[in-house]
Structure 1
Amino acid sequence: MWFVFALLSAVFAALTSILAKIGIEGVNSNLATALRTVVVVAMAWAMVFITNTQTGIFSISKKSWIFLILSGLATGASWLCYYKALQMGEASKVVPIDKLSVVITIVLAFIFLHEDFTVKSIIGCALIGAGTLVMVI
């Protein structure tokens, strides 16, 4: 089931890029990011209430709070940079560079989470990196 959600995530991320590129025309990138964020927040809280999981907020550990807040800050920084890049550049060039996050995630997962760094993951990282270069040059 995780694969279905990951695939849907990729489809929605692709739609996000195209819709954002169209919508950001003539709009300050920071303002556009803030508007998008309001929609995301409303949608996320709607899902919390629809699934009746709001009471779980009281059982979140201090460690989880810290890392979720840091993750939110990283997300905010990513979105601000992404929207600025998207406003200034072509979606077909910005998106592949943004997807280098896959390579960076694999390396960071190896360093911090001690996940396996296999021959397959090294080849995959190299191919993603090479593909990104081919697409943006």
Structure 2
Amino acid sequence: MPSPAPWLYWALLSALFAALTAIFAKVGVKGVDSDLATLIRTVVVLLPLSAFVWLAGKWSNPTALSSKALIFLGLSGLATGASWICYFRALKLGEASKVAPVDKLSLVLIAFFAVVFLGERPAGREWLGIALISVGVIVMATKR
């Protein structure tokens, strides 16, 4: 049996931390304005990440990047911020066990956008997985 691709380990860790994010945020947002909670979260991400990049010697002058890279990284940042604001507002108003699965509808949207904008072509088996995720989101979001 072939060993998993290196990206898989990072993706699994990402999923673990995303799950912890939902639980920690749901507890943390209680009694706190969701927008303020998002700001606090952003600062907590910014400071250690800045230190990590600096200490790891990965800092380079951002103005040396191509304008295309800067534009798309900027758009990604704006989308992340909008996502976090909406996510924290949803967690403030709803149950984490419903909010998080609906948030994962992003997986379906990513597949669609990757086909339309990046020219990616998922195989039939992958489309089946995408469809199952869609059904799972509907089931989780509508549970009583």
TM-score, scaled to structure 2: 0.91
Matched, 1:24 2:44: no
Q: What does residue 13 of structure 1 align with?
A: 18
1:79 to 84, 90, 103: 84
Matched, 1:2 2:27: no
Equivalent pairs counted in the alignment come to 137
For 2:127 and 2:28, the matched residues in 1 are separated by: 37
- Residues 27/70 of structure 1: CA separation in 2 closer, same or farther (3 Å cut): same
For 1:133 and 1:46, the matched residues in 2 are separated by: 40
Q: What does residue 3 of structure 2 align with?
A: none
For 2:127 and 2:7, the matched residues in 1 are separated by: 23
Q: How far off its partner does 1:133 sit?
A: 1.1
> What 5-or-longer segments of structure 2 have no aligned partner?
1-5
Q: What does residue 89 of structure 1 align with?
A: 94
Q: What is the percent sequence identity of the aligned residues?
A: 51
For 1:118 and 1:74, the matched residues in 2 are separated by: 28
Q: What does residue 106 of structure 1 align with?
A: 111
SS of corresponding position for 1:55 = coil
Per residue, is there more helix in 1 or in 2? Answer: 1
For 2:41 and 2:117, the matched residues in 1 are separated by: 30
Q: What does residue 141 of structure 2 align with?
A: 136
Aligned residues: CA RMSD: 1.0
TM-score, scaled to structure 1: 0.96
